A and B are shown apart, each in its own frame.
Chain A
Amino acid sequence: QSVLTQPPSASGTPGQRVTISCSGSSSNIGSNTVNWYQQLPGTAPKLLIYSNIQRPSGVPDRFSGSKSGTSASLAISGLQSEDEADYYCAAWDDSLIVVFGGGTKLTVL
Chain B
Amino acid sequence: EVQLVESGGGLVQPGGSLRLSCAASGFTFSSYDMHWVRQATGKGLEWVSAIGTVGDTYYPGSVKGRFTISRENAKNSLYLQMNSLRAGDTAVYYCARVPRWLQLPDYWGQGTLVTVSS
Interface residues of A (CB under 8 A from B): 2, 32-33, 35, 37, 39, 43-47, 50-51, 56, 86, 88, 90-92, 96-103
Count A-B pairs with CB separation below 8 Å: 61
Q: Is B107 an interface residue (CB 8 A)?
A: yes
Contact call B94/A100, Cβ cutoff below 8 A: no
Contact call A97/B44, Cβ cutoff below 8 A: no
Q: How many whole Å from B37's CB to the nearest CB in chain A?
A: 8
Q: How far is the CA of A39 from the CA of B111 in the complex (A)?
A: 13
Contact call A44/B94, Cβ cutoff below 8 A: yes
Q: How many whole Å from A2's CB to the nearest CB in chain B?
A: 6
Interface residues of B (CB under 8 A from A): 35, 37, 44-47, 50, 58-60, 94, 102-111
Q: How far is the CA of A91 from the CA of B104 in the complex (A)?
A: 7
A sample of 16 cross-chain residue pairs with beta-carbon separation below 8 angstroms, ordered by A number, consists of A33-B104, A39-B45, A44-B110, A44-B111, A45-B45, A45-B105, A45-B108, A47-B105, A47-B106, A50-B106, A51-B102, A97-B47, A97-B59, A98-B47, A100-B47, A101-B44
Contact call B102/A46, Cβ cutoff below 8 A: no
Q: How many whole Å from A91's CB to the nearest CB in chain B?
A: 7
8 residue pairs, one from A and one from B, having the closest CB atoms:
A98-B47, A103-B44, A44-B108, A35-B104, A100-B45, A102-B44, A97-B60, A47-B106
